[in-house]
Amino acid sequence: MAAEDTDVPQLSYPLEIPKLKCGAMADSSPYAASSAHQADLGFPGELLPDWKQRALAKIKELAETNRAFQVYLDACVKCGACTDKCHYFIGTGDPKNMPVARQDLLRSVYRRYFTFAGKYFPWLVGARDLTKEVLDEWYSYYHQCSQCRRCSVFCPFGIDTAEISMAAREIMDVVGKGQKYCNEIIGKVHNIGNNLGLQEKALRATLEDLEEEIEEDTGVSVRLPLDEKGADILLVTPSADFFAEPHIEGLIGYAKVFHEAGASWTISSYASEAANFGLFIGSHENMQKVALRIRKAAQDLGVKRIIFGECGHAWRVAYSFLDTLAGPWDFLDPNFPVPQHICEFTWNEIRKGTLNIDKSQNDHIKLTFHDSCNVARASGMGEEMGGQFEIPRNILKAVCNHFYDMPRDTIMESTLCCGGGGGLLTDELMDLRVKGASPRMTALKEVTEEHGVTHMAAICAICKTQFSKVMPKFGYDMDSILSVHQLVSNAIVLAGQDGVDDENVKEASVTN
């Protein structure tokens, strides 16, 4: 596999700006969607003979229906402020991975066909004709953008390359040039209800196994209810939480918090997926179709609240778009925001004092927190501005004695992407993923050297999967990445929980 011949970039902190390596990543390209995958989403199965006309018509449509698209394509002054802000550029040195250069791949075509300067003086403004080569270049480089929005933080006009990438992918989809990974997954959600294609039966069995596991561990029966009508809370969580490590430990954490809080909750087998890859391919229709499953599940089950599990882009769609896509939510309890994040719920319980927490259970861990892009730069949490930074950290500090932040210019709104977001979490892009992760890994090494940090927590299913794959290449164990609610789970002492943990507590106090 491509992964084996990846040369792992050795960077150092503070991150250096690489020398330009033209064409370094020109061969990186994800697998194409088959015609069956395309059909499930309502896209043509292969590149259509009149693809060029269709692509141009789509650009025109986007310019007329999406303000961001036109303003961003017009407003860039080529100041260069964003050029060193993309983790893929820092990791690869390929100039087309500089955010402005990535936008220019599409801007050059927009200018040529839709602006005065580009129509009459193309050479002056770098406008170019749309050709097959251009289309292939789009396919390659718009799949080297994790839509993390880091560039938009630093642009004087807030130009968000993620918006341009999404638009480009949508243009490619409507002419029949889709990406396999995203489109196959979206099809599974439409047909079955989650990214994995996990059927209701399998899901039920998994949840029952987990219940047994918790009972074995703690002696307390903690439920993970499925499709329970009349429950108060619908939990919508990424399907990775049902089977992957460390995600599953997070799910156990949510269950324990709900149990201790005495909350009545349920998972839905119909909307058994928080993720919404419709975002990544810029398809409003597909994103809406996925989101509407949640609405239907909430209505069918008669819940009063909706809470989302740990997933980055899902939280963006939930927090910023859910009301637009699938609202109004007037049938839910107006006393709670719709939707809520599991961290909001847990932090609230911690503040109320409902949870019995033994921090020493996490004493073997020196922890840092990775802000996931879509949570950090595209959503919020709690009532205060910046709650998405404070609340997860507050939780971690409440359940863990040793917490250290990575350097300030690599966290919060300046966080560095894990390298696998935005629909790039697929094996054939492993080389790109490793290189894209290198800036984050470099910042992590910094706190490892300074404070002996051993683990990193995250609230995003993609981040967790990506890190467990790439961290070993940077000298960390694959289980150095943790779910935030895994740490919560470790520290919660359930009411009636028996012996095991008490011993640990004693041990811990003896060594102290």
Partner 1 sequence: MLGTVYAVLFYAATAVLLFGLVVKAWTYGRIPAPLRIPTAPAPKTRAGVFWRMVREVAFFESLYKSNKWIWLFGWTFHMSLWLVLARHLRYFTQPVWGWVELVQPFGTYAAFTMMLGLAGLWARRVVVERIRYISSPSDHLMLALLFGIAVSGAMMRFVAHTDIVAVKSFMLGLMRFRIGDLPPDPTLMVHLFLVAVLMMVFPVSKLLHAPGVFFSPSRNQVDNSREKRHVAPWSAKLES
Query: Can you tell me the distance from the alpha carbon of 463 to that of 418, in angstroms, rounded to the nearest whole number?
Result: 6
Under 8 Å between Cβ of 215 and 173: no
- 86, 412, 425, 460: residue in contact with ligand SF4 (rule CB under 6 A): 86
- 42, 327, 334, 472: residue in contact with partner 1 (rule CB under 8 A): 327
3-state secondary structure of 266: strand
88 binds, among ligand SF4, partner 1, none (CB under 5 to 8 A by kind): ligand SF4
Binding flag, residue 149, ligand SF4 (CB under 6 A): yes
3-state secondary structure of 415: coil
Stretch touching ligand SF4 by CB under 6 A, among 56-64, 156-164, 331-339, 481-489: 156-164
- 17, 36, 47, 79: residue in contact with ligand SF4 (rule CB under 6 A): 79
Nearer to ligand SF4, 149 or 177 (CB): 149
Nearer to partner 1, 64 or 333 (CB): 64
Both tokens assigned to 416: 């560095």
Which helix (H) or strand (E) segment is 306 a member of? strand 305-308
**Smallest separation (angstroms) from partner 1 to the CB of 509:** 40
Nearer to partner 1, 216 or 383 (CB): 383
Q: Which of residues 47-76 bind partner 1 (CB under 8 A)?
A: 63-68, 70-72, 74-76
- 102, 143, 293, 305: residue in contact with ligand SF4 (rule CB under 6 A): 102
Binding flag, residue 371, partner 1 (CB under 8 A): no
Stretch touching ligand SF4 by CB under 6 A, among 39-47, 84-92, 244-252, 346-354: 84-92
Nearer to partner 1, 157 or 243 (CB): 157
Under 8 Å between Cβ of 293 and 221: no
Query: Can you tell me the distance from the alpha carbon of 318 to that of 18, in angstroms, rounded to the nearest whole number?
Result: 36
CA distances, 255 to each of 251, 309, 470 (Å):
6, 11, 29
Q: Which of residues 94-113 bind partner 1 (CB under 8 A)?
A: 95, 98, 100-101, 104
- 91, 99, 423, 439: residue in contact with ligand SF4 (rule CB under 6 A): 99
Both tokens assigned to 330: 């007037």
**Smallest separation (angstroms) from partner 1 to the CB of 330:** 10
Total of residues contacting partner 1 (CB under 8 A) = 71
CA angle 376, 381, 384 (to 5 degrees): 105
126 binds, among ligand SF4, partner 1, none (CB under 5 to 8 A by kind): partner 1
H helix intervals, 142-246 = 150-154, 161-174, 180-191, 200-218
**Smallest separation (angstroms) from ligand SF4 to the CB of 168:** 11
* Long-range contacts of residues 106-115, Cβ cutoff 8 Å, at least 24 apart: 106/59, 106/73, 106/138, 106/142, 106/164, 106/167, 106/168, 107/73, 107/76, 107/164, 108/134, 109/59, 109/134, 110/59, 110/63, 110/73, 111/73, 113/56, 113/59, 114/59, 114/60, 114/63, 115/74
**Smallest separation (angstroms) from partner 1 to the CB of 20:** 5
Could you give the string, one character per residue 3-32, with x where binding to partner 1 holds by CB under 8 A and - elsewhere?
--------------x-xx------------
161 binds, among partner 1, ligand SF4, none (CB under 5 to 8 A by kind): ligand SF4
Under 8 Å between Cβ of 193 and 269: yes
**Smallest separation (angstroms) from partner 1 to the CB of 407:** 15
**Smallest separation (angstroms) from partner 1 to the CB of 417:** 15
145 binds, among partner 1, ligand SF4, none (CB under 5 to 8 A by kind): ligand SF4
Query: Can you tell me the distance from the alpha carbon of 415 to that of 440, in angstroms, rounded to the nearest whole number?
Result: 8
Query: Can you tell me the distance from the alpha carbon of 222 to that of 263, in angstroms, rounded to the nearest whole number?
Result: 12
Stretch touching partner 1 by CB under 8 A, among 253-261, 305-313, 377-385, 497-505: 377-385
Binding flag, residue 134, partner 1 (CB under 8 A): no
146 binds, among partner 1, ligand SF4, none (CB under 5 to 8 A by kind): ligand SF4
Find residue 306's DSSP bridge partners.
Answer: 234
- Among 390, 396, 386, 373, which Cα is nearest to 455's? 396
Q: Which of residues 261-300 bind partner 1 (CB under 8 A)?
A: 284-285, 288
Query: Can you tell me the distance from the alpha carbon of 6 to that of 168, in angstroms, rounded to the nearest whole number?
Result: 27
Residue written as token pair 């599991």: 342
User: Using CA of residue 207, residue 208, residue 211, residue 217, what is the dihedral sign?
Assistant: negative
Q: Which residues would be at the binding site for ligand SF4 (CB under 6 A)?
A: 76-82, 85-86, 88, 99-100, 102, 145-151, 155-157, 159, 161-162, 165
